[in-house]
Amino acid sequence: MSFRGDGNGGKTPGVPQKPCSKAAVPTPPKRRNSTLWSETLDVHQKGTFSTKEIKRQEAIFELTRGEQDLIEDLQLARKAYHDPMLKLSIMSEEELTHIFGDLDAYIPLHEDLLAQLARATGPDGTVGQIGQIVVSWLPGLNAYRDYCSNQVAAKALLDQKKQDRRVQDFLQRCLESPFSRKLDLWSFLDIPRSRLFKYPLLLREILKHTAPEHPDTPRLEQAITIIQGVLSDINMKKGESESQYYIDKLEYLDDRQRDPRIDQCKSLLCHGELRNKSGTKLHVFLFTELLVMTRSVTRNEHHCFQVYRQPIPVQDLVLEDLQDGDVKMGGSFRGAFSNSDKAKNIFRVRFHDPSQGQSHTLQVNDVFHKQQWLNCLRSAISVHHPADAAVTTPASSPAADAHSKRRSSKISAIIHMEEADENCPLTPAGATSAPSSPCGDETPSPTSTSPSSRSSSSSSSPLSSPSPKHKTKKDKRSLCALGKRKETMV
């Protein structure tokens, strides 16, 4: 760290001072060599190759150059990060081993591929046949299974250690150094995983520019099948490890929240931070067997996830895709009667049997991530109920739409407060809402209840919420007729 008074501190008088580091021109980051294979040839050589052969050699050259870059990055991670932090006692050897894994063990693997490609390169700089080389070499990438499986825990430990001022200062200095290429430590640690998923693309590019009658064609097709199998195994092992990591981080407030199916979850389909209807941030986990909503908390400097309400088994899960504006977020009673805070990018999850637990209206940051969640949820549901895999989307007939439009606009604000979600727990049948509650019987949302069911269902408790001006008895009867479930706002 440099301070404003450090410029003259400890300097001998009369000795010319170096300019302030802030005024100095920053050292440009080190750049990768981006030379193309064709640029290594002279004009006469280039004219001896067909366009297709040049493209094939370019693809092979890209594979070779990528291996060289990967080896450099693995060596850099050890020399510039691991060894200095160990020598300066910034982290313990055990912590560094947990974060870095066995990076050194993978360097010979990639050096072997480079050596084989070098031997296969002819005097004119071309690689005649590469198919058998990659077919024999690719199975060795299974060595990355343990490394990739440990990445979730390694990233969590690194993030925790970044709270240490010494670690933070060291990593910041490295980031500002030219060798880092403006990449942080985790970017270097994640490079091997990223490289694994590039191999199918690189092999397909080589195959694309290889003639069908070339001896490499069947071998390259075989190599693509092999690498897909390797990646599938790595993904499965990583998924199991990631799933178990987060399961171990779950904290239950009540033993009844712990569903025995959690022990059967071998994969985490997706997870992320969403907001519920009251605006509370929830970290939601979709496992293969359960949908678990949690609150992110810290206990004794250890991060964990406190389970929020009852997890929903995927086999009992109902998903509803809500339209923008169908629900108002915020959870306040006054906000329900305003036109502001209309929610976007929302969906609802609930039990198939409402008596088993509450529904949850969840909001995502944008349309893209909403679609990601819907796809994951739909895929999980389809395993248990193939016929019900489609997302439940609000639908109504033209006659129902006309019927809805004829209803008084005075009740439209109340409609948005209807669902029995995290702000509106289910009231047992036959119970009467407390007078202090903003609403006794709520009206089912038009997005989840058909018009016929709304008109046929009845309510047993009057609304205790303030009524808009000039509300007639007919309007009140209409509100009661809309109610299907007895729900109470909290």
Centroid of chain to Cα 378: 17
Centroid of chain to Cα 208: 32
Copy the structure tokens of residue 53: 């052969």
**pLDDT for position 329:** 67
Length of the chain: 490
- Angle of CA points 257, 258, 262, to nearest 5°: 135
- Angle of CA points 448, 446, 338, to nearest 5°: 125
* Domains identified in the chain and CATH numbers: 30-247 (1.20.900.10), 251-388 (2.30.29.30), 404-486 (no CATH)
**288: nearest Cα among 309, 311, 314, 306:** 314
The CA distance from 235 to 267, in Å, is 10
Strands 268-275 and 250-251: unpaired
**pLDDT for position 157:** 93
CB atoms within 10 A of CB 79: 11
The CA distance from 240 to 353, in Å, is 30
Which residues in 284-314 are b (16+ Cβ under 10 Å) and which e? bbbbbbbbbbbeeeeeeeeebbbbbbbbbbb
The CA distance from 161 to 47, in Å, is 56
Model confidence pTM above 0.85:
no
**pLDDT for position 404:** 40
The CA distance from 38 to 293, in Å, is 55
Copy the structure tokens of residue 209: 């520019």
**459: nearest Cα among 490, 487, 434, 419:** 487
Copy the structure tokens of residue 453: 């069911």
Cα dist. 385→173, 292, 379, 394, 472 in Å? 53, 19, 10, 20, 46
Strands 281-287 and 268-275: antiparallel
8 A C-beta contact, residue 370 and residue 364: yes
What are the pLDDT tens digits along the chain (490 aa)? 333 334 444 443 343 444 444 434 344 455 566 677 766 776 667 667 888 888 999 999 999 999 999 999 999 999 999 999 999 999 999 999 999 998 888 999 999 999 999 999 988 888 889 999 999 999 999 999 999 999 999 999 999 999 999 999 999 999 999 999 889 999 999 999 999 999 999 999 999 999 999 999 999 999 999 999 999 999 999 989 999 999 999 999 888 888 888 888 888 999 999 998 888 999 999 999 999 999 999 887 788 999 998 999 999 999 999 888 777 766 544 444 445 557 789 999 999 888 887 889 999 999 999 999 999 999 999 988 776 554 454 544 444 344 444 333 333 333 333 344 444 444 444 343 333 333 333 333 333 333 333 333 333 333 344 444 454 544 545 444 444 433 333 2
The CA distance from 445 to 443, in Å, is 6
Task: Please give the biggest Cα pair distance in the chain.
Answer: 96
CB atoms within 10 A of CB 101: 20
**pLDDT for position 325:** 79
Copy the structure tokens of residue 193: 């995983």
Query: Which parts of 276-424 are beta strand (E)?
Result: 281-287, 290-299, 302-307, 312-313, 317-321, 346-351, 360-363
Alpha carbon dihedral 196, 201, 206, 208, in 10-degree steps, equals 160
Q: Where are the alpha helices (DSSP H) in 28-164?
A: 43-46, 51-76, 83-87, 93-100, 103-120, 131-137, 145-149, 151-161
**pLDDT for position 327:** 74
The CA distance from 429 to 432, in Å, is 9
The CA distance from 303 to 153, in Å, is 12
Cα dist. 355→104, 221, 244, 427, 486 in Å? 56, 54, 30, 9, 11
**pLDDT for position 353:** 86
Copy the structure tokens of residue 202: 């690189």
CB atoms within 10 A of CB 104: 13
The CA distance from 481 to 484, in Å, is 8
